[in-house]
Amino acid sequence: MSREHQPSRLQAAAERGDFLITAEVMPPKGPDTAEFLAKAELLRRRVHAVNVTDSNRAVMRLSPLAAAALLVHVGIEPVCQLACRDRNRIALQGDLLGAHALGVRNVLALTGDPVSSGDHPDARPVCDFESVRLLKAIGRLNEGYDWAGHPLNAPTALFAGAAIDPQCPSVSGLKSRFLRKVEAGARFFQSQLVTDFDRLAWFMDAMGHGAGQPILAGIFLLKSAKNARFINRMLPGVQIPESIIERLEAAPDPLAEGIAIAAEQVQAARKLCQGVHLMAVRKEELIPEILDRAGIEPLFTAWSQPAPVVG
């Protein structure tokens, strides 16, 4: 198998059935990438891949494709998020071809948060595709054709993932959306923030295990009771239990308590699904401590990656 078509580390680990670990790092709001790269470097030995967000919550940031390429350049494997909100099908396919050419292999297909929630509320959303059609487009590119059926000069080798919300209150809606993404070619799933692990267990039994694709439970580092209440107010569909909020409120060091809670949740997820996706917004340097407390050993003693094959 040529280097160009070797599976990514994440794909190889998924296919082996390993417990997968990814972590989210936001690109900067500006061209200075030093802090972004420093945060990713702290995760080098602890995760299979670093998830690079695409203007999350519609707040404009550095291109996720550029940020992902920078990670490839320093030997850190990325998952490049790609949201349909800001690009039409031509631009989306162009970015996917660019991702492959730059050595980026893992892509998370997203519809994207509404522009009204971001820092450019007057922007016009594109939404030519949504996540299911984007997954199908990735499948066609991997077969050597664009969306319109025109041949490429070579096929891509992209490992496509999608988002899932096991706590969605509509069971029929959850099942329909999940199965459509599986059928469209999603090879792994990263979940939204999970707080109800009984619900996650139900989802895995009812749908997740049968799909045969790894599910990574979303684990969020809560920094304080105020932070938890803010998330409950601002993120639709998320309801952090009052018991967790009370725990944070009573703790002499709320951040340390948040680390303990996240570690407990990693341990809970380990019994239910094939991985975790860690989110520690502006505190990414604490992710290794969360994993240590959860009993997760470093994945690699050293992590180097060949330079990407360009062209």
> Which is more confidently placed, 119 or 257?
257
Q: What range defines the domain where residue 229 resides?
A: 3-293
Q: Is residue 307 part of a domain?
A: no
Q: Is residue 62 part of a domain?
A: yes
Q: What is the mean pLDDT of the chain?
A: 93
Residue 131 confidence (pLDDT) above 80: yes
Domain count along the chain: 1
pLDDT value for 302: 55
For residues 53-61, average pLDDT: 90
The set of residues, in sequence order, having a beta carbon less than 8 Å from that of 33 and lying 6+ positions away, is 27, 62, 67, 70
Place 57 in a pLDDT band, splitting at 50, 70 and 90.
confident
For residues 136-158, average pLDDT: 98
Q: Is residue 259 part of a domain?
A: yes
Q: Is residue 138 part of a domain?
A: yes
> What does the pLDDT look like over 135-145, one tens digit per residue?
999 999 999 99
In the block, residue with structure tokens 């994993």: 291
pLDDT value for 114: 84
Q: Is residue 119 part of a domain?
A: yes
Residue 119 confidence (pLDDT) above 60: yes
Instruction: Please state the three-class secondary structure of 232-250 as a single string.
Output: HHHCCCCCCCHHHHHHHHH
Q: How many CB atoms lie within 10 A of CB 135?
A: 23
Residue 219 vs residues 2, 61, 67, 144, 306: alpha-carbon distances, Å: 36, 23, 23, 36, 30
For residues 127-154, average pLDDT: 97
Residue of 88, 96, 162, 81 whose CA lies nearest to 125:
88
pTM above threshold 0.85:
yes
How many residues are listed for the chain in this entry? 311
User: What's the CA gap between 182 and 85, in Å, rounded?
Assistant: 21
Q: Is residue 298 part of a domain?
A: no
For residues 205-232, average pLDDT: 95
The CATH number of residue 136's host domain is 3.20.20.220
Residue 235 CB-half CA count within 13 A: 18
Q: Is residue 302 part of a domain?
A: no
pLDDT value for 4: 59
User: What's the CA gap between 176 and 184, in Å, rounded?
Assistant: 12
Choice among 3-17, 76-90, 147-161, 162-176 with the minimum mean pLDDT: 3-17
Question: Which pairs with CB-CB distance under 8 Å and at least 24 residues apart come from 201-205?
Answer: 201/272, 202/166, 203/166, 203/174, 204/166, 204/272, 204/273
pLDDT value for 309: 44
In the block, residue with structure tokens 């303990």: 260
Residue 308 confidence (pLDDT) above 60: no
Place 118 in a pLDDT band, splitting at 50, 70 and 90.
confident
In the block, residue with structure tokens 């702290």: 42
Signed CA dihedral, 71, 76, 81, 82: sign only: positive
Q: Is residue 133 part of a domain?
A: yes
